[in-house]
């Protein structure tokens, strides 16, 4: 197949480039236990791609106590984030698969533009720990936005950073909320992992290197 033009890729981070979603789960689960909630995998799946504050609200649907003040909610989020960052601090370049590393390299060599579009405020720390900061032309993350996915803000920000029109960008995301965000941003959406079974994804892939055939 002859490649007609260079492409502009916007990648979600957690669950696409690195598998930090298991760390999110462990940290939320520990935090939830302190307020009497047993977080299960089904609820955890609803947190995929969702901002920290929105994730807490989803977990609190199971909370049986008196309504919590914003101060208490902030403390719970901080507690979760501290636990989460303990896991992140242990990450190394070995936490990125060869499939992801090689594919990013090949896309770059082809002259494509590569950006991160992640709701996480820890995105830069993660990229630094796994040695991928320089693999991307631009990084849009939770520190650049007010609204998390499914709002299109973070993908639009990434397109703006790349100086590309949204409709010329392809977003890759493992979360249903990420696919919705990409469609809301008027981008092509590629589903991988969980979102590879979501009908709104324009393409569904099994492994990261399948991107090379798109």
Sheet holding 169-173, edge to edge: 138-140, 113-117, 8-11, 169-173, 188-192, 203-205
Exposure letters 128-165 (e unless 16+ CB within 10 A, then b): ebbebeebbbbbbbbebbeebbbbbbbbbbbbebbebe
Contacts with ligand BG6 by CB under 6 A: the residue count is 17
Confirm whether 14 is a catalytic residue. yes
Omega into 26 within 30° of 0, i.e. cis?
no
- Of the residues 17, 47, 145, 181, which one makes contact with ligand BG6 according to CB under 6 A: 47
Looking at the DSSP assignment, which residues form a beta bridge with residue 117? 140
- Of the residues 10, 14, 141, 158, which one makes contact with Mg ion according to CB under 5 A: 14
Counting contacts by CB under 6 A, is residue 44 touching ligand BG6? no
Q: Name residues contacting Mg ion, limited to 21-80 (CB under 5 A).
A: 49
The torsion of the CA quartet 161, 163, 169, 171, rounded to 10 degrees, works out to 0
Alpha-carbon Rg for the chain in angstroms: 17
- Of the residues 18, 116, 175, 181, which one makes contact with Mg ion according to CB under 5 A: 175
- Of the residues 15, 117, 152, 166, which one makes contact with Mg ion according to CB under 5 A: 15
- Of the residues 48, 129, 164, 183, which one makes contact with ligand BG6 according to CB under 6 A: 48
Least distance to ligand BG6, CB of residue 105, Å: 23
Least distance to Mg ion, CB of residue 197, Å: 15
x/- letters, 118..147, toward ligand BG6 (CB under 6 A):
xxxxx-------------------x-----
Placement of tokens 């589903």 in the chain: 191
Distance CA 92, CA 129 (A): 5
In sequence order, the 6+-apart residues with CB closer than 8 A to the CB of 200 are: 176, 179, 180, 183, 189
**Do residues 104 and 83 touch, judged by C-beta distance below 8 A?**
no
| Of 103 and 120, CB closest to ligand BG6 | 120
Q: How many residues in total does the chain contain?
A: 214
Stretch that binds ligand BG6, among 33-41, 89-97, 115-123, 200-208 (CB under 6 A): 115-123
Confirm whether 95 is a catalytic residue. no
- Of the residues 7, 8, 14, 173, which one makes contact with ligand BG6 according to CB under 6 A: 14
* Residues of this chain that bind Mg ion (CB under 5 A): 12, 14-15, 49, 174-175
* Residues of this chain that bind ligand BG6 (CB under 6 A): 13-14, 24, 47-52, 55, 81, 118-122, 142
- Give the active site residues: 12, 14
């Amino acid at each position: 197949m002859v490649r007609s033009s260079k492409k502009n890729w916007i990648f979600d981070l957690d669950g696409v480039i690195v598998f930090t979603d298991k760390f999110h789960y462990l940290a939320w689960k520990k935090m939830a236990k302190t307020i009497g909630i047993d977080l299960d995998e089904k609820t955890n799946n609803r947190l995929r791609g969702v901002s920290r504050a929105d994730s807490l609200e989803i977990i609190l649907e199971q909370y049986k106590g008196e309504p919590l003040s914003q101060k208490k909610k902030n403390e719970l989020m901080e507690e979760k984030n501290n636990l989460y960052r303990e896991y992140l601090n242990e990450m190394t370049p070995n936490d990125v698969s060869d499939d992801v590393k090689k594919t990013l390299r090949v896309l770059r060599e082809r002259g494509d533009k590569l950006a991160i579009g992640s709701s996480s405020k820890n995105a830069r720390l993660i990229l630094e720990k796994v040695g991928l900061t320089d693999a991307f032309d631009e990084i849009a993350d939770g520190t650049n936005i007010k609204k998390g996915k499914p709002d299109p803000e973070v993908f639009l920000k990434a397109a703006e950073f790349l100086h590309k029109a949204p409709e010329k960008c392809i977003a890759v995301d493992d979360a249903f909320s990420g696919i919705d965000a990409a469609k809301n941003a008027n981008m092509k959406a590629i589903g991988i992992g969980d979102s590879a079974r979501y009908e709104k994804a324009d393409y569904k892939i099994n492994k990261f290197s399948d991107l090379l055939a798109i």
